[in-house]
Amino acid sequence: MQPSNSNSEISAQDIQPIISQLTLEEKAALCSGLDNWRTKPIERLGIPSIMMTDGPHGLRREKGEGFGNSEKATCFPTAVALASTWNTDLIQKVGAAIGEECQAQDVQILLGPGINIKRSPLNGRNFEYYSEDPILSGKIAAAFIKGVQSQGVGTSLKHFAVNNQEFERMSVSAEVDERTLREIYLRGFEIAVKEAKPTTLMCAYNRINSIFAAEHRYLLHEILKEEWGFEGFVMSDWGAVNDRVEGVKAGLQLEMPGNDGINDKKIVAAVQSGALEEERLDEVVADLLRVILKLAEQKKTGVTFNTEAHQELAQRAAAESIVLLKNEDSILPLSKKRFKSIAVIGDFAENPRFQGGGSSRVNPTKLDIPFQEIYRNLSTGMDLSFCNDSTNDDYLDNELMEDAQQAAQLADVAIVFAGLPNSYETEGYDRQHIDMPPSHIQLIEAVAKVQPNTVVVLQNGSAIAMPWANQVKGILESWLGGQGGGAAIANVLFGRVNPSGKLTETFPQKLEDTPAFLNFPGENRRVSYGEGLFVGYRYYDKKQIEPLFPFGFGLSYTTFEYQKMELSHELMTNEDTLEVSVSVKNTGNRAGQEIVQLYVSSDGNFPNAAIKELKAFAKVALEAGEEKTVTMTLNWRDFAFYHTQYKSWVTISNSFNILVGSSSQDIHLQESIHFQTTQNLPPIFDKYTTFKEMIVHPKSSDLVSPLMEQLMNGMFMDAEFPDEQSKKDAFEFGKAIVLDLPLCKAVGFSKGKFSEEMVEELLNKINT
């Protein structure tokens, strides 16, 4: 029985007649995959099977049932690179291109994007994730999802949730407090779910506070479904299921891959025994069928895609992702006027590392080789040499080092390709340090010793240490730039593209400076998120630690001036939106793009606050001498924190600074705004609530102020002071003691003037 309507929205009325005809065994069967990549069909009722494949930076459609033999597809830049563009329009175009390739290869769901927070640079899978910041991650994910789904293809937002390491990923419990969970590790998911409505969501392998993600009702149902309004279905990561029946109860609709019927039988037995209500199973099946039928309707036949157009898009995305980290003496861009001979050194120039290892590996339609692209960009009269010093070994031998130095000495400028090999970062295990291989470091230092004009081009998927940074004049972070990365590197080196990428993660001076250093990766199958809210730049700001390169940093071949900022309000409430307008001018002599970053900073009254937090951003293209006004919008959530007692996002009346700059540490403009909360939150005080908590609440301050004064007077009733200063100091001491005093302790401190009955009476009066 097919659904009655033919549009893409499948209603509950369409689904219910189908469910009523399903047997219990068929319902259970729908809750697991047919094989590695397909859902189960129920042919007698016209329920089709749909196909899903790995992503997210390109299509990995396996030719068979195994892994490692996939169809050719465009390999776009990895997530770390795409995010560094800060260009949501471009990222949406990349998503649409991948969606088009999915249709061409009969794929209905792309398994991505991945948006887990970069808690530590050691996570072996960081190249698959966007950022250390949840707002940036969520906005980029939303753009990517919109792009893919614009082609009638589904996405699977992953890995939900708190999946920030590969070490013991199938068993480790991420121990995280509720506020940190909400503000850091779930915020990006929330933005993506609400703004882009992903078709499916993939749960993580790990446990969160001792409960496996695949059975976590609080995450999968209460937050995702009830609070955020998620309308798709949740699938497991491959092999993440532990207790299938508990998963059904919690909100895990689909187990992947297939389980040969083992867990299907457990679902049937649980319904028959009464351990699982069939009504709950029906709800799960309804969620599945809505998506399966919708995606099956949206399948297109005869679709092809323009490989050259997608190659050009991959090149553009890679070029915009490149971050210029250092450009001493304006060594870049390379020009014939300054450099008539160029030496290219390093194996990555000929055998580039353009993507990461594991489930996201794509079989590219073609591959740009950096050395060949540099050769194509040469001007007439420029000479090019190449020294392919293989840096696959841990250390360079003297002969190879001498070859590299000789090539560098004979040229006017040396371009050294280095970074991290495949063995250093991949899905499945974490890095042990943030160093490059010794051979790469040796190569850079050897060349820099004999050639003052040395530029390093990096290929890596996450932050690295750079003890050699002061020895070279130029550093290009090209990330894992996909199949178009080689052309992108050459275009940036020669100035055909002005670099506009900026870091979405902090590069530390050393591993010991990183926020999670003392708690990563945990032990005994538990990892403590002891740094709490202070992840990434929030930590470096709070600890006043200078990083190697800060979050949001990136240079250009031109210069920009931030000239003025205007706010639409000076006073804001929960019902308002705030428009922040900034004038930016290109003060250089060539066109370029600037990424304008907006941070919010509270005054000292805000609870456990970061120094500043990213809330909005915009990428603006400017011709030489051109000026534009950029407008960004904030709402009440940008001034809120998650209150664990109210279990809600809460605002307080407070002053905030609106900061606009070109990185987290390069703020150009600042204005202040006062936020006046209109939330009418009832007190939730008990006898252990302190006076300092009650004195700031409008419903209790008038009631507790007299009691505080009485307690302080009682403390010094018989005291004699030698002078007024001594008296003042004593009362300041008394005030500090009383402010930290739990209400129930006032009984003992009041010398009989305040009883336990009076405590209860006061609490009843306040809380009602």
Find out whether 594 and 609 touch, Cβ atoms under 8 Å.
Answer: no
pLDDT at 768 over 60: yes
Least confident of 251-255, 624-628, 641-645, 694-698: 694-698
> Does residue 10 register a pLDDT over 60?
no
Supply the DSSP string of 397-445, one letter for each residue: -HHHHHHHHHHHHTSSEEEEEEE--GGGSBTTB--S-SPPPHHHHHHHH
CA distance 163 to 115: 10
Grade residue 503 by pLDDT with cuts at 50, 70 and 90: very high
pLDDT surpassing 70 at residue 741: yes
pLDDT at site 764 = 87
**44 by DSSP, 3-state: which?**
helix
pLDDT tens string 671-728: 999 999 999 888 888 889 888 888 777 778 788 888 887 777 777 666 788 888 887 8
Q: With bands split at pLDDT 50, 70 and 90, how would you rate the model's confidence at 765?
A: confident
Q: Mean pLDDT of all residues in the chain?
A: 93
User: For residue range 106-122, what is the model confidence (pLDDT) as tens digits?
Assistant: 999 999 999 999 999 99
563 SS3 class: strand
Return the domain boundaries, the chain.
312-543, 560-675, 691-767
Q: For 88-92, 126-130, 330-334, 724-728, which range has the lowest pLDDT when averaged over its residues?
A: 724-728
| Percent of the residues in the chain that have a pLDDT greater than 90, as a whole number | 80
Q: Out of 237, 264, 389, 638, which one is annotated catalytic?
A: 237
Averaged pLDDT, 613-626: 98
Higher-scoring residue by pLDDT: 667, 758: 667
The C-alpha angle with vertex 500 and arms to 378 and 496, in degrees rounded to 5, equals: 20
Write the secondary structure of 577-601 as one string of H (helix), E (strand) and C (coil).
CEEEEEEEEECCCCCEEEEEEEEEE
User: Residue 156's pLDDT is what?
Assistant: 98
The whole-number pLDDT of residue 357 equals 87
Residues 747, 44: Cα–Cα separation, whole Å: 74
3-class DSSP state of 386: strand
Across-strand partners of 386?
Answer: 344
Lowest mean pLDDT segment, chosen from 51-60, 490-499, 619-628, 685-694: 685-694
Burial 574-612 (b: 16+ CB within 10 A, else e): eebebebebebbbebeeebbbbbbbbbbbeeebeebbbb
Band of pLDDT at residue 390, cut at 50, 70 and 90: low
Higher pLDDT, 714 or 492: 492
Residue 626 Cα distances to 281, 558, 588, 590, 660, angstroms: 60, 12, 10, 10, 19
**Structure confidence by residue, pLDDT tens digits, 336-387:** 999 999 999 999 999 999 999 888 899 999 999 999 999 999 988 889 999 9
**Domain 312-543: assigned CATH number:** 3.40.50.1700
Whether 613 shows a pLDDT value over 90: the answer reads yes
State yes or no: pLDDT of 8 exceeds 50.
no
For 371, 385, 387, 388, the CA distances from 406, given in Å and listed in that order, are 18, 11, 9, 13
Q: d(Cα 443, Cα 445) in Å, to the nearest integer?
A: 6
pLDDT computed for residue 7 by the predictor: 37
pTM (2 decimals)? Answer: 0.94
Residue given tokens 């060349």 in the structure block = 447
pLDDT of residue 599: 98
The residues near 577 (Cβ < 8 Å, ≥ 6 apart) are 568, 633, 634, 635
Q: Is 393 a catalytic residue?
A: no
CATH 3.40.50.300 fits 560-675, yes or no: no
